[in-house]
Amino acid sequence: MNAFINSLMSKMTLEEKIGQMNLLTSDMDVTGPTMRDTYKQDILAGRCGNIFNAYTPKYTRMLQDMAMKTRLKIPLLFGYDVIHGHKTIFPIPLGESCSWDLEAMKESARMAAEEASADGLHWTYSPMVDIVRDPRWGRVAESAGEDPYLGSKIAAVKVQGYQDKSLSDSNSLLACVKHFALYGAAQAGRDYNTVDMSRREMFETYMPPYKAAIDAGVGSVMTSFNEIDGVPATGNKWLLTDLLRKQWGFKGFVVTDYTSINEMINHGVGKDDYEVGALALNAGTDMDMQGSVYYGQLKKLVADKKVSMASIDAAVRRILEAKYKLGLFTDPYKYISEARASNNIMTAAKIKKARDIGARSIVLLKNDKQVLPLKRSGTIALIGPLADDKRNLIGNWSAAGDWSKAISVRQALEEAASAGGFSVKYSKGSNLVEDTMLFRKLNNFGGGLTIDSTMNPQQLVEQAVQVATTSDVVIAVLGESQGMSGEAASRSEIGIPANQRVLLEALVKTGKPVILVLMNGRPLTLTWEDEHVAAIVETWFLGTEAGHSISDVLFGDYNPSGKLTMTFPRSVGQIPIYYAAKNTGRPLDPNNKYTSKYLDIPNTPLYPFGYGLSYSSFEYSDIKLDKKQLRAGEKLTVSVTVTNKGNYDGEEVVQLYTRDLVGSITRPLKELKGFKKIMIRKGESADIQFELSTNDLRFYNNDLKKILEPGAFKVFVGGNSRDLKEADFEVR
């Protein structure tokens, strides 16, 4: 590889090198992807070496043919946002993380890579591994939630799934970990906003998933829009060179997020493209996404000696190395095959897996008097603006997914009813939103909203109530549109929309048992709902097979096993709220006013991290430790017996937490250190063991050294971060 790239680079002009650092977009029309004429000229002239939003064999072949007409015939690199599937759409990442099933998450990434690579793509802008503790931020939908340990495990398996054994395989995708760094900590939960935190908090909480992706061999890194220590990530030399390359040893290339070099002018660290272009390259940013700053400024910056040829050569080498590893120099068309596209996309096996992972991602939040699973008898009222919806099921960032092929809840339940035993009566009940301004904002950006203009809101509710009163049980399918979460979709209030709440209240007043099936891309505030409905089923946006996955859980064909990976607050006033909080000097004491608490609500969340019910009930024994004292380098074996006391076989996510009681740095009340997802037959028990090493107990001190301190510890085991057994041990 080195000899080939050395030879190639020796032939390249400065303009051709800059072209390899330029990433431009393909546009989308109703007929599919299209390319601007000016960009076609850039490709033919060697001024653009990379294209995103271009897919399908026919289209990418046309573009690659242009590249093959250039002087040096350097192939184009095609990238795309394959976030939770390409054509077969899997659950949104936040939903999928709630499966706690690492093998399933790896498999969904592998299937996405197989489809995307068959459709002409080389590169995906995934995984997104930002730690998020503010559900107002819309991009929590793309994340794995609030915990660095779980987030790190998911980051690694996603990279492995996309890139597989070798990038030279034609069904592998080059992965891109994002957004480096700290993007999930945007202040006030407002997208693109400022981030400010200590270096120690960075390394302790926010950096581990990025590092896990690097250690897993991720081929590229995308910069974030926010600043780090007052310097935007795209121009932050400490972040991109000192930490990423020198300390972590990253060898791949760094790409900006969309126009983030240009946006450093708004940040106020440069007055024009010339200045911010120099800042970005000197910091270690290799490729400019859509901003054309490198294209417009690098030649002059070299002439003015503001950037060096060595920096440009290093960036170009890293980009060419990625193309070489993908095998594009051997065969620029290796990912372009009509036969592969027709044989590998939306196969029966992939559809079946999407249904299975969808069911695994569902979290049962409430099940009063075991109203679920549903009996296959009587009449079911299916009500709500999302009950017969397809567009929103595939969620945001749904790539090339075709929402018209999604399975709605109505379709799935009517399929089940066709076998006999029960009937389904449908009523829309309400529009997704009635707020005219919100409706316009969402639909301007593909919000997935429709308005029923045949009846006014009151008539919609009245019709739904009539259907409910003549049924045995009510399923209300409510929540957000897909456009209400995701990029540029922050919300200051995170309850279900007001008009849907009116509908739900009317349904509850009928006295019929109401099962609330939620679709949403973030944790919601559900205090009223938790108090008044019989059952709550959190389904997120489950993708192509959403309706089937939901039906499987509602009827007990799959016993729900999902557990929350992000805390659900009682109120937005509690945000940020997360399980790994620290004590204050005045921890909560309900009998003492002058302690840390609210006057109007409890400190506790509505649903804690790790929480999720099953149709089974699992009982935990006391914890057994193989030793009470632990020395550096030793391991502690933590054992517990879990018994299925219910009437159904079921899976349980057994979670292990620790607490360092006294440290030189204040420590969280709990930290996740391990988990195991196990199947336990009804009436049976499973003996679970965890190995806890002293390395698991290390933390970053103020010198940013990861240290182990002697002292007293607690270990906790249970089914969520709140309901736990505990034991004590000591590190000496």
Residue 319 corresponds to which amino acid?
I
pLDDT given for residue 435 in this prediction: 79
CA dihedral 507, 508, 511, 516 (to 10 degrees): 90
φ, ψ of residue 599 to 5 degrees: the values are -80, -30
pLDDT given for residue 437 in this prediction: 73
- In the predicted model, what is the mean pLDDT of the chain? 97
Residue 692 contacts residue 712 (beta carbons within 8 Å): no
Q: Which of 251, 205, 90, 58 is nearest to 158 (CA)?
A: 90
Distance from C-alpha of 488 to C-alpha of 138, rounded to nearest angstrom: 7
pLDDT tens by residue, 57-100: 999 999 999 999 999 999 999 999 999 999 999 999 999 999 99
Distance from C-alpha of 446 to C-alpha of 266, rounded to nearest angstrom: 27
pLDDT given for residue 679 in this prediction: 98
Local structure of 339: helix, strand or coil: helix
Distance from C-alpha of 617 to C-alpha of 629, rounded to nearest angstrom: 33
Strand partners of residue 511: none
How many helices, marked H, and strands, marked E, lie in the chain?
22, 29
What strands, in cross-sheet order, belong to the sheet with 253-255?
Answer: 176-180, 220-223, 253-255
Residue 287 contacts residue 315 (beta carbons within 8 Å): yes
Secondary structure of 311-338 as H, E, C letters: HHHHHHHHHHHHHHHCCCCCCCCCCECH
Residue 532 contacts residue 474 (beta carbons within 8 Å): no
Residues whose CB is less than 8 angstroms from the CB of residue 319 and which lie 6 or more positions away in sequence, other chains included = 20, 21, 49, 50, 77, 253, 286, 287
pLDDT tens by residue, 111-140: 999 999 999 999 999 999 999 999 999 999
DSSP 173-189: -B-EEEEETTGGG-GGG
φ, ψ of residue 379 to 5 degrees: the values are -125, 130
φ, ψ of residue 701 to 5 degrees: the values are -90, -175
DSSP 346-374: S-HHHHHHHHHHHHHH-EEEEEGGG--SP
Residues whose CB is less than 8 angstroms from the CB of residue 401 and which lie 6 or more positions away in sequence, other chains included = 85, 86, 87, 88, 89, 394, 543, 544
All domains of the chain in start order, with CATH? 1-80+327-346 (no CATH), 81-326 (3.20.20.300), 347-565 (3.40.50.1700), 618-731 (2.60.40.10)
The conformation of residue 203, written as its DSSP 8-state character, comes to: I
pTM: 0.97
Structure tokens, 563: 């557990």
Residue 189 contacts residue 134 (beta carbons within 8 Å): yes
pLDDT tens by residue, 530-557: 999 999 999 999 999 999 999 999 999 9
Structure tokens, 368: 């009063």
Cα dihedral sign, 144-145-150-156: positive
Distance of CA 145 to the CA centre of its chain: 7
Rg (CA), the chain: 26
Residue 246 contacts residue 237 (beta carbons within 8 Å): no
DSSP 550-618: HHHHHTTSS------SSPBPSSGGG-S--TT-B--SS---TT-TTSS--SSS-SS-SB-TT--B-SS-E
The conformation of residue 240, written as its DSSP 8-state character, comes to: I
**Beta carbons within 10 angstroms of residue 127's beta carbon:** 32
Structure tokens, 207: 């950096």
Structure tokens, 570: 């009682």
Residue 516 contacts residue 504 (beta carbons within 8 Å): yes
Q: Which of 81, 257, 288, 660 is catalytic?
A: 257
Distance from C-alpha of 187 to C-alpha of 197, rounded to nearest angstrom: 10
Distance from C-alpha of 79 to C-alpha of 319, rounded to nearest angstrom: 13
CA dihedral 347, 393, 190, 567 (to 10 degrees): -90
Q: Maximum distance among all alpha carbons in the chain?
A: 80
- Give per-10-residue mean pLDDT for the chain (732 aa): 98 98 88 86 97 96 97 98 98 98 98 98 98 98 98 98 96 98 98 97 98 98 98 98 98 98 98 98 98 98 98 98 98 95 96 98 98 98 98 94 97 96 97 82 74 85 98 98 96 97 98 98 98 98 98 98 98 98 96 96 98 98 97 96 98 98 97 98 98 98 96 98 98 96
Secondary structure of 121-159 as H, E, C letters: CCEECCCECCCCCCCCCHHHHHCCCCCHHHHHHHHHHHH
Q: CA geometry: angle at 428 spanning 423 and 429, to 5°?
A: 110
Residue 433 corresponds to which amino acid?
V
- Can 42 be counted among the known catalytic residues? no
